[in-house]
A = this chain, B = another copy of it.
Amino acid sequence: MRKVTLADVAAKVGVSAITVSRALRSPEKVSKTLQRKIKKAIADLGYVPDPAARALASGRTNVIGVLIPSVTNNVFSDVMRGMYEAIEPTTFDLQLGNTRYSPLMEEDLLKVFLSQKPAGLVITGIDQSKTARTMLQSATCPIVQIMETGPNPIDMMIGFSHYDAAAAATTHLIDAGSRFPAFVGARMDPRTQRRFAGFKDTCERAGVFSRERLITTPEPSTVTLGASLFANLISQQPEIDAVLCNNDDLALGILFEAQRRHMAIPEELMICGFNDLEMMAVAEPPVTSVRTHRHEMGRRSIEMLVRQIENPDAEASKIIDLGFDVISRRSTARRGPRLGS
């Protein structure tokens, strides 16, 4: 039982191989009658096209490469879910590359991906290395940068401003009465840095910034880490009355640690997360967070690519800012400045 090839199908129907190929690739060029017969023969023989042969002959694949810095991070699983959802009704496949937050690995993976002549590429963030940018710029397929918007797009872009989002969250905390806000950050990647910048600038403008109320670590963020970072921070700086977290894992850890210390939330400590993972709304008390449109970002990034691939000259917006929303919940529901300050 040898592999079934196009030629076998063609022989069975009594046409040439190329016609079968056409029936699959561009059915509108083949008569209805033949299409039906060919479809039947394919089913009967159990023919499955060989993607390698197709790629070699046509010089392109139906693979969309996706470069993300982490497969573990909850944020990216939401984005990926959106992508898988969008890819499903199409004929394209997704191929994931994990850069582990390393520009070097990003370059290597990019080289591998480009050698496969992908139909499109998704790449995370706007901080590619010079080499990576050059490779991307000379690529012949459409490219989307996700997670962030910024100047100098390589091709397309969908995301939001991390600076603005953090600034808005910080304003929310200050408006709620915080005079001693803190920032807790893990894995300070470029996006996190920009969030911190938004926090810092906003605090400075309100005259409430202190470098003492900042704790960061290069480790990847976890709930446990949030708890222990906060434990450190609060023992050094007991005056802290609000925390803006890099992300929701940390925020949840801080919530647990605060509960352990019997700190009243929000009365003694306000907590604000980032990303608005599902669990924040149901925590006790519910935790304020910055909602980012991760699922939509994933879905639309693929949709943008597919549209561009199938219709290269159509006019379509190439840069999409999805924005964000500060979702205010009980963990920051304090009014006015704290008593006695």
Give me the interface of A with B, judged by CB distance under 8 Å. 48-53, 55-56, 61, 71-72, 77-78, 80-81, 84, 93-96, 98, 111-112, 114-117, 222-224, 227, 249, 252-253, 256-257, 259-260, 278-279, 281-284
Which residue of the partner chain, among B96, B227, B282, contacts A223 with CB atoms under 8 Å?
A: B282
For the complex with contacts A72-B81, A256-B282, 15 further pairs of A-B residues with Cβ separation under 8 Å are A51-B115, A52-B53, A52-B55, A52-B56, A52-B117, A71-B80, A72-B77, A72-B78, A84-B98, A93-B95, A223-B278, A224-B278, A249-B279, A257-B282, A259-B284
A206 CB → nearest B CB, Å: 32
- The reply to whether A223 and B81 contact each other, CB–CB distance below 8 Å, is no
**CA A260 – CA B260 in complex, angstroms?**
16
Kindly report which residue of chain B lies nearest to residue A286, judged by CB atoms.
Answer: B256
> How many copies altogether?
2
**Chain B positions within 8 Å of A116 at CB level:** 51-52
Can you offer 23 A-B residue contacts whose CB atoms are under 8 A? A48-B114, A48-B115, A49-B115, A50-B115, A51-B52, A51-B116, A52-B55, A53-B56, A71-B80, A71-B84, A72-B77, A72-B81, A77-B77, A84-B98, A222-B278, A222-B279, A223-B278, A223-B279, A224-B278, A227-B282, A256-B282, A256-B283, A259-B284
Bound state CA distance, A5 and B200, in angstroms? 52
Chain B residues lying within 8 Å of A281, measured Cβ to Cβ, are 224
Bound-complex Cα distance A51 to B53 (A): 11
A86 to chain B, nearest CB (A): 12
Are B71 and A77 closer than 8 Å at their CB atoms?
Answer: yes
Measured in the bound complex, the distance between the Cα atoms of B59 and A53 in whole Å is 10
A224 in contact with B115 (CB, 8 Å):
no
Cα distance A281–B114 when bound, in Å? Answer: 43
> Interface residues of A: mostly helix, strand, loop or mixed?
helix
Residue in B112, B249, B260, B282 whose CB lies within 8 Å of A284: B260
Q: Assuming A61-B52, A80-B71, A96-B96, is B282 touching A253 (CB within 8 A)?
A: yes
Chain B residues, Cβ within 8 Å of A279: 222-224, 249, 252-253
How far is A249 from B260 in the complex, measured between Cα atoms in Å? 21
Q: How far is the CA of A223 from the CA of B281 in the complex (A)?
A: 9
CB within 8 A of A71: which of B81, B112, B115, B257?
B81
Question: Which residue, of A93, A115, A117, A282, has the highest number of chain B Cβ atoms within 10 A?
Answer: A282
Contacts of A257 in B (CB 8 A): 282
* Interface-centre pick from A53, A223, A257 (highest chain B CB count, 10 A): A223
CB-nearest residue of chain B relative to A1?
A: B138
A238 to B68, CA, bound (A): 46
Which residues of B sit under 8 angstroms from A112, Cβ to Cβ?
Answer: 48, 93
Provide the residues of chain B in CB contact with A52, threshold 8 Å: 51-53, 55-56, 61, 116-117
Point out the residues of chain B lying under 8 angstroms from A111, CB to CB.
Answer: 48
Please name the residue on chain B nearest to A83 by beta carbon. B71
What's the least CB distance linking A224 to chain B, in Å? 5
Instruction: Select which of B56, B77, B249, B253 is within 8 A of A50 by beta carbon.
Output: B56
A74–B184 CA distance with the chains assembled, in angstroms: 24
Report how far A282 CA is from B259 CA in the complex, Å: 11
